[in-house]
Each structure stands twice: as structure tokens, then as C-alpha cells.
Chain A
Amino acid sequence: MTVTTLTPTSGGTRTTGATGQMCTFWVDGLYFGLQVEHVQEVLRYQQLTVVPCAPDAVHGLINLRGQIVTALDLRCRLGLPPRPEGELPMNVIVRSRGEVVSLLVDDIGDVIDTTEVSLQPTPANLPPTVQDVVGGVLPLPGSILLVVDAERAVDVSTPDTTGGTP
């Protein structure tokens, strides 16, 4: 997948701040990065408990040493096609606003140093679902790293099925 145009987005307020060290991973062939400060740990596939009626992106709950952690499927969150049958996702455990959330990704990459590269706005022609989660891109020599905004990635709206509860 190549990006042809690099038009700065109009509402370019999204920044991830100082870049520095990035924990990288792949989702549907796309190369993503998260600042290491946000990442608590990376885990292999964990057994999931599905949550009926939950938002689509919520893949289930995992037991992380006694803490119950919501696992969000990044493919779903990004509006990408579902993971092929039989492939098990990996967990990137992210801390956000005092909560711990697991992002399910296809594969884990290295931790890379990106201090040299400056963050550019997300290309405007990326699908809105991707734009919603990505805070900017880092054009690295061999690839383009999509920098995930941890806060927004874990923000999943709940369908309003409450019917009156405040």
C-alpha cells in the first residue's frame, strides 16, 4: 500500500507530541506505531470472553493477572477487513486515562527510535475510520509509520441500548 499524496489535513491539531521511541505493529499490512510510554506490555494471544451487546470493536475481555482488560480489535476500530480465520491476534496493552486496554493487532514489530523523523499530518485521503485513530504519520526510509493516538484508539462509543438509564 502506497500513499501518493501527502496533503496536510485541515484540522491539523492532532499531534502525538515528541515522538521518540515507538512500539510498532502490523494490522492488515499497515505499519503502525505507538509511543512506548503508552504501552504497558505486549502479550501473545489470550483467551477472550465475548461481551454480547457490546460495541463491535470490543472483541472481549481478558484476564491480565487478575485485572479485567477490555480487548479492542484494531482491525474493527480502523474499519479494516476482519482477521482471516485461524490467525490469532496479539495484545498491545495500552494505558489510557488510568485504564488498561488491550489493542488486538496482527503482529508485533520492533521498538524503533524515530527521533530523527518529524511527524506529518495524516494524509487526507485515508479512510475516516483510520484518520480517527491515527494522529499523524512518520515517513521512514523503507515504510510509512502510522502513529496511533492511544487516547482515541481506546475511545469506543457504546450503542445506546439503555432505553432510559442516564
Chain B
Amino acid sequence: MDDDAEIVAEFLVESHENLDQLDRDLVELERTPDSRELLSSIFRTIHTIKGTSGFLAFNRLEALTHVGENLLSRLRDGKMVMTTHTAGALLTMVDTVRALLEAIEHGAGDADPGVDVESVVSLLERVLAGDVEEPAAAAAEGGEQATVSELESVQDAPPAQAAVEGGEQATVTATDSVEDAPPAAAAAPAHEPDPVAEELLDPVLDQAPEDVPAAAEVEEGRRGVVDSSVRVDVDLLDGLVQLVGELVLTRNQILQRTEAADDVELVRASQRLDLVASELQESVMRTRMQPIGQVWSKMPRIVRDLAHQLGREVDLEMDGHDTELDRSLLEALKGPLTHLVRNSLDHGIEPPPARAAAGKPTAGRLLLRAYHESGQVVVEITDDGKGIDPRHIGDVAVRRGVVTREQLARMEPRDVLDLIFRPGFSTAEQVTNVSGRGVGMDVVRTSIERIGGSVDLTSTVGCGTTMRIRIPLTLAIIPALVVGQQGERYAIPQANLVELVRLEGQDLRENVETLAGAPVLRLRGRLLPLVSLSEALGGEKADPDGLTIVVVQADETRFGLCVEEVHDTQEIVVKPIGRQLKSLPTYAGATIMGDGRVALILDVGGIARTRAIGAAHATEPEVQVGTVDSRALLVLEVSQGRRAALPLTAVSRLEEFELGRVERSGGVEVVQYRDGILPLLRLAPAIGLAESPPAEDQISVVVHEDGQHRVGIVIDRVLDVVEEHVVPTEVGRRNGVLGSAVVQDKVTDLVDLDAVVRPLLAGAR
């Protein structure tokens, strides 16, 4: 209900402004009756009010504006000519619309009997009905001679004109509307709503007609919607945000200085300044915040139309209307959100018969959800449609030449789904006018990334898809961790922050290893690539006794950033950097610290890219999946010292299982793993090697995931992760092995993972 009230309030403000403009336009139009431009503008305004009132179920308002719109469209198309009384009728309509809006504002809804809508409607209808009817309307104007002379110019209305001159209502050629509304009635509404509207608009005018006393009382009690809000230029707001940012920084400087001061008065004053500045900052930031409900209010209509068009049945649910975010971000979100909703309807939710066949209710469910999470706004679009099948996506991607079959074979299911974000990708079997033109998801991702956000999707075949958009709350002020390096400070956005790790002495030696020159950290069983901030900034690599690691995440890439010092978390104001530095991938911007000095904001994603970490997940089309895949290899020991390598991207986890957990199912060894059963595959026999004698109490397993299926590949141990380009040779090619290659000066079998796991998965399917 609150949400509705908010939408209504917004509708009122907007409409009132539009009506003021309309008044001016109509008067202007009377002077220049053939201005197509003015007519179009008026038409649009009324059309907007009509549309919204229909959506908000203000039926009388809709009926009124509908007739007005018809009249205006005829005027616009040149089928009718603007005359004084046409203008009069339109102005009457505007006044009545205004009166209705007032009634709505005071909670009476548009059913307020104090506002006479029906007679205005019939007046407009008569004007619409044609020239012969005009005298009736003219009579409403008072039957003045001026009106009549106007009429003459309109053409061929002599009988009607005569009637007017006689001061009598000779409704000659009968139409229904005339019979419905006798002339006297027609005359009244033209004027009656006026005082009502005037009264409601202007509280000073105190002679409220008897029929709307309640409304007038309310008026005095509180400010009307229109009076309580002011439209402000966004540039002005932006300027204000900037200034407040400055003030906050200056306050920080003053606070630092006064902390040590003896002057009690000064300390007190600075505390007050602190308080006021904080509140001011908050308020100013709020001026730019708008609830997401604004965008969502348009969704029911879009969904309804699309469902109709596509022959789907859809129940739309929306949750979290009042989630607020910066208005510029809200603007930027509109397009992508609409697109995703369309996609869900077109590609996600099946037609009713298909749903019934799948044992689902015929009406699909589309859930829009918005919420705040760790300084970000998350918007989810969930449907319970057919989901996205990675195999299908893969096939289409190969067919469209987005990837080669070899590249596809090496991709994780997750990455395969990600292919839909590639340019030129569309899986619509039929190109509809809703979606399926092959532009879309890549555009969605680009536009979301442009505002500092990200899009990802999870999908279960047959059960549905969830698209998740994450966007920052505001671009202006973000929480960030300040770290120190070589005497300078750098800010790392909190959004990228995962955790802080400090390693010293024994721990350092045990958990940090250097693989082919690349340091990695064992963190709770996972290998985390480490990047020295010093090196990322082009400096020397330090070799200290302890490591301070900031674990960061950008997109799908997680890595450890080794820094010299960690200072504290602060709210920082993001400022742009000059064009000389824009192309540096390392920085996302700059900010001013409490002491007035400039600190750079690190772009975690940019650092990851320049240090070639997680390039497999990068979305840039330049980064070819194949070339990246071939670089990172997990080198294993199998069969007593024999070496084999798997593409690292095929590895989802490394696990150790106690021997006691291994059970048998059919002819296959399995373990219970993550609420499921993980079939095990001994790598050595699968690639034609002798199996090592059973290990004492544990087995090492590489978990490989392929769509719905998981396989545990049993190996002796993990040797290394190498990033080098290897070329398989013919030597050693056999079933399960692509060939052998020299990796780290040793001959290593390159495992043909597909061939190895196929027999096992074939059983599972």
C-alpha cells in the first residue's frame, strides 16, 4: 500500500506540472491553431496521464482523458481545427483533471462525486462529434458573439450558428451524445469544475463550495504533494554532492588537528562541525537516492503486454520496492532490467502447454527482487522457466562461431553459460520481435559494467534461471580499505574486499609457495594466486618476514594482494582522474584523504587483468578462451612419479578424502560429497598407466564438474600449477591422452579429460 501511495504521489506531482504546462500550451495554441508541435506536446501530456491513471485504476480520470485524447488526436491529425470553444472545452477538461487529481491527493480517489466528470466527457464528445455540435459547446461558453464568429471560420455551420444567435438550443442533427446531455447540462459543467479546482489549488481562496468541504480542510492541515516537493536540476545536486564531499574532507582535516588541541571551545565547535557535516552529507546523498519501485512500476504493464504477445501466462511478483539507489544508476538500470525481463519471458518461461507437460503450473512465475547487500544493490530476476542448458548454449555458440568446439570442450559449465553475454549470441530458435536479434545480453552486461556493476546468472535446467545484477549504491561515496605502499596510500573499494590475512614465520613458509615464479597461498584448502602490490605498481618485489595479504575479488577472480601496511576503512569520495591517466588499468579513480593529500583508488579487476590472473573469466572478447586455457595447467603425479597435466579450468576443487569414506555403487567407487554422490575415477588406469599402490589413509581427488555431473579424479598428488603454453606432441598419444609435452623440463602427459570421464558420465546419464 505504501508503495502505491508513493507511486500515486509521484503521479500527482508529475501530472500537476504537466497540467500547468498544458494550460500555457492551450492558450498558446489558440493563438497559433496550426502548431503541430504544440498539439503533439499536449497530446502526449494527456496521453501520459491517461496511461498512468489506467494503470492506477483511476477509471473516471482515464475515461475523461481518453475522450480528451481522442479530440486532441483529431486536432493533431488535422481532422479538426482548433477554435476558441474547442480550446475552452479542452481547458475545462484540464480543470476537471486537476480537480480529480486534487480529490485523489486528498485520499478520496477519483470517484469523488464533487467532481462532475460525466458532463465534461459529454461536452468533449459533442465537440468530437463534429461541427454541427459545436454550437452546443459554444452555448456552454456563454453563446458570445466572438465564439460565433470563430465558428464561421470553421465553415459550414449556418444552421447551428442561427440557433446560437437565437440564444436557444436547437440541437438539430441528432446524435446520441446530444440527447444524453441536454444543453443546459452541457452549459453547467463547463464552469462548475473551475471554482472547485481553483479552490483546491489555492488555499487562499477560501470560499469552498459546499460539496468539497472535506478536501478543503485537509488542504489547510498539510502541505499538498505539489507544495512539498521541488524539482531541482540534477547538475545542481551533483554540484552539491561535490561540495559536501569537500566539506567532509575538510572536516576530517580539522578533526585531526583539533584532537590534540587544548582549546575546549575549539574542540566543541569541531565536534559540532563533525555532526553537522555528517548529517548534511547523509541528507544530500539522500536527495539523489530514489526507490527502485520507480522502475518496477513500469514492469506489470511490460510483463502483461509481453505475456499477451508471446502467449505466456505469467504471475509477476516484485519484492523490495523501497530499495534505494542513486538516480543516475536507476536511470542506467532501466534498459537492462527491461531487457532481462523480456528475455525471461521469451526464453525462460515456456508456453502454457509446455509447462503443463512438464508438470508445472501453466502460469509461470517471474520474481523481481531488490535488496541491499554489503554496500551494493542486488537486483534479481528469477523465473521458473525451462532454464538454460549449457549443452544447448555450447552448441549454438559453436554454430555461430563464438567459440570453437575445442575451446568449448575445455570450458566449465559456468563459463559456457557466460557465453550468452558474448556479442552476437542469441539462442532464440525463432527471431521474435521481443528478443532474439542477437543484440542484448552483451549490451546488458556492458551497460551494467559501465556503471560499475556486474551481471551473472545461475540456472537449473528445467527449473528456472536467476539473473543477478549487482550495482554500487552510489558512484560518489564508497567505503574503502586504505593500504600503504612505498609511503603512498591506496584505497581498495570495500566491494572488492574479501578478507585480510597476515602470515609470519612458520605459517608463511608453510602456506606460501612459489610455483614457477608465481607465489600462491594455501588458504583453507584452496590455492590463491598472490600479487605483490609493489610489483603491480611497477616497483621491486619485497621479500619481507611477514606478508599482509588483502584477499580481493573482482568478477569471478579472487586473488591475494600483498601490501606493506593496512591502515583503516574509510568512506571515500570517488573523484575522476585526468585523461592522461584514464587508460591505466590499475586505477579506478582517486580520492582525497583526511590530510588533504591525494590517494589513488585501485581497480582490482584491472590489476587482475594486467597480472594475467583469472583471464579465463575476463569478459573482453579479445581474451580468447582457448589461448588462456592452454596456459594454466594443473600438473599431477600419477602412477609413481609419472606426470600428467589437466587444464586448470577443468578443475573445480581439490579434495582429500579419507579412504574409509570411499564406498561402492555398482562397479564404481564413490564418495558422499556436498549432499550428493561423487563418482571416482582413478586417473592412472584411465590413461593407460599402472596404478600406484594404495595410499596409506587418504586419496587426493581433483573434482571436475561438467554441467549436472561431477567426477572425482583420483591422483597421487598435485605437483604444481604452471602457466605456460604447451604444445602436445604425437609422442605418447593414446586413449585418454592428447599427447605428451615438456612441462617444466619434464615430459608430461596432457590428459584428454573428455575421453577420460566420458565412460563414467555416460553411465550417469
Q: Are A and B co-members of a single complex?
A: yes
Interface residues in chain A, defined as those with a beta carbon under 8 Å from any beta carbon in chain B: 47, 49-55, 57-58, 60-63, 65-70, 72, 97, 99, 101, 154, 156, 158, 160-166
What residues of A have a CB within 8 angstroms of the CB of B249 in the complex? 66
Q: Which residue of A55, A57, A62, A161 is within 8 Å of B598 (Cβ)?
A: A62
What residues of A have a CB within 8 angstroms of the CB of B599 in the complex? 49
Q: What 16 additional pairs, Cβ within 8 angstroms, besides A51-B584, A54-B580, A57-B580?
A: A49-B488, A49-B590, A51-B581, A51-B587, A52-B537, A54-B584, A61-B577, A63-B597, A65-B246, A66-B246, A66-B592, A154-B580, A164-B618, A164-B623, A165-B606, A165-B609
CA–CA, A165 and B620, complex, Å? 7
CA–CA, A150 and B349, complex, Å? 59
In angstroms, how far is the closest chain B Cβ from the Cβ of A164?
5
What residues of B have a CB within 8 angstroms of the CB of A69 in the complex? 578
Cross-chain contact B600 with A51 (CB below 8 angstroms): yes
In angstroms, how far is the closest chain A Cβ from the Cβ of B116?
56
What residues of A have a CB within 8 angstroms of the CB of B245 in the complex? 66
What residues of A have a CB within 8 angstroms of the CB of B596 in the complex? 47, 63
Asked if B359 is at the interface (CB within 8 A of a chain A CB), the reply is no
What residues of B have a CB within 8 angstroms of the CB of A68 in the complex? 575-578, 590, 592, 598
Q: Which residue of B576, B580, B590 is within 8 Å of A156 (Cβ)?
A: B580
Cross-chain contact A164 with B620 (CB below 8 angstroms): yes
What residues of B have a CB within 8 angstroms of the CB of A164 in the complex? 609, 618, 620, 622-623
**What are some 19 contacts across the A-B interface (CB < 8 A)?**
A49-B488, A49-B599, A53-B538, A54-B581, A58-B581, A61-B598, A63-B592, A63-B597, A66-B245, A68-B575, A68-B578, A72-B580, A158-B584, A162-B609, A163-B585, A163-B610, A164-B609, A165-B609, A166-B620
Type the 1/0 row for B576-608, where 1 means its CB is closer than 8 Å to any CB of A.
111111111111001010001111100000100
CA–CA, A164 and B577, complex, Å? 21
What residues of A have a CB within 8 angstroms of the CB of B575 in the complex? 66-68
Interface majority SS on A: helix, strand, loop or mixed?
A: loop
Cross-chain contact A53 with B592 (CB below 8 angstroms): no
The 10 closest A-B pairs by CB, nearest first: A52-B537, A70-B578, A49-B598, A66-B246, A61-B598, A158-B583, A156-B580, A164-B622, A68-B590, A68-B575
In angstroms, how far is the closest chain B Cβ from the Cβ of A99?
6
Q: Which of A60, A63, A70, A162 has the most CB of B within 10 A?
A: A63
Cross-chain contact B537 with A70 (CB below 8 angstroms): no
Asked if B544 is at the interface (CB within 8 A of a chain A CB), the reply is no
Cross-chain contact B598 with A162 (CB below 8 angstroms): no
CA–CA, A86 and B253, complex, Å? 28
Asked if B242 is at the interface (CB within 8 A of a chain A CB), the reply is yes
In angstroms, how far is the closest chain A Cβ from the Cβ of B292?
30
Q: Which of B245, B575, B584, B599 has the most CB of A within 10 A?
A: B584
Closest to B250 in A: A66
Q: A161 with B578: in contact, given A49-B597, A63-B598, A66-B246 (CB under 8 Å)?
A: no
In angstroms, how far is the closest chain B Cβ from the Cβ of A44?
15
